[in-house]
Amino acid sequence: MIELSTGTAIVTGGAGGIGAATALKLAEAGAHVVIADRANVGGETLAESLRKDGWAASYHLLDVTQESSWDELIEGIKALPPLRVLVNNAGIATWGNDVETETISGWDKMIAINQTGVWLGMRAVAAPMRAAGGGSIINLASVLATVGGYGEEIAYHASKGAVRSMTKSAAIHWATEGIRVNSVHPGYIATPMSLEGLDDWHESRILGNTPMGRMGTPEEVASVIAFLASAGSAYMTGSEIYVDGGYTAV
């Protein structure tokens, strides 16, 4: 059983968007939240404002693509309560770049952050979570892990499909050790990632293809992540949960 109130939760990419909403939800559940993000994206400011509101929070610099950065993070949080939760949320996206127009450099960058970063994160927390007697890892995939969307973003699809299947492999690996691994698949959520560069063509199709007829909010994804982090989901591992306003139901 995971007692959030006596543990630490890492949220990668926790400075903004879905990550920031998740940091608040996990802090409200009693965890010491570690906002792990790149430099100069507001992680320290967010941690400070959470602390001012009475929650336990800190910021740590992390580049999810670098093994040494993960090692420094795990070393740096040793004095905190036992590590019980990792939310592998950091990610990037682009509009466009289809199967013909993607470049090697664009592909490599996307795979490094969205895919390799998730694997490195799961590997880095294995020892501290085992020592804590178990934990919950939540990997942010996407509806685009399983459907073709608009025939674009080939590298994004590749990376999120990999997150979906890596989640299941890791879940089976740790199934008897109390470390649970699940993936969350948001549809289109109103964050900097999806709003920057959103043109009328995409917006009208996205809203038209979403039965609820609107984008989701970061909080609507964060509450599902918080459920997967909690003891309420104790019998769930290797599962994929869609938070998409019905996008994949059509």
Which residues contact ligand NAI by CB under 6 A?
A: 12-13, 15-19, 37-38, 41, 62-65, 89-93, 113, 140, 142, 186, 188-189, 191-194
Looking at the Cβ atoms of 29 and 73, the one nearer to ligand NAI is 73
Looking at the Cβ atoms of 6 and 45, the one nearer to ligand NAI is 45
Q: What is the Cβ-side half-sphere exposure of residue 204, based on CA atoms within 13 angstroms?
A: 2
- Catalytic option among 59, 150, 156, 235: 156
Q: Which residue is nearest to ligand NAI (CB)?
A: 17
Chain centroid to CA 126: how far? Answer: 17
List 240's β-bridge partners, or say none. 183
| CB 75 to ligand NAI: min, Å | 17
| CB 176 to ligand NAI: min, Å | 28
| CB 4 to ligand NAI: min, Å | 21
Which one-letter DSSP state was computed for residue 82?
P
For CA atoms 46, 52, 54, 56, the dihedral sign is positive
For residues 124 and 62, the answer to whether their CB atoms sit within 8 Å is: no
Can you give the three-state secondary structure of 203-231, one letter per residue? HHHHHHHCCCCCCECHHHHHHHHHHHHCH
Q: Does 156 participate in catalysis according to the annotation?
A: yes
Looking at the Cβ atoms of 63 and 102, the one nearer to ligand NAI is 63
| CB 16 to ligand NAI: min, Å | 4
Helix, strand, or coil (residue 69) = helix
Looking at the Cβ atoms of 136 and 142, the one nearer to ligand NAI is 142
115/222 Cα distance (integer angstroms): 21
User: Which residues have a catalytic role annotated?
Assistant: 156
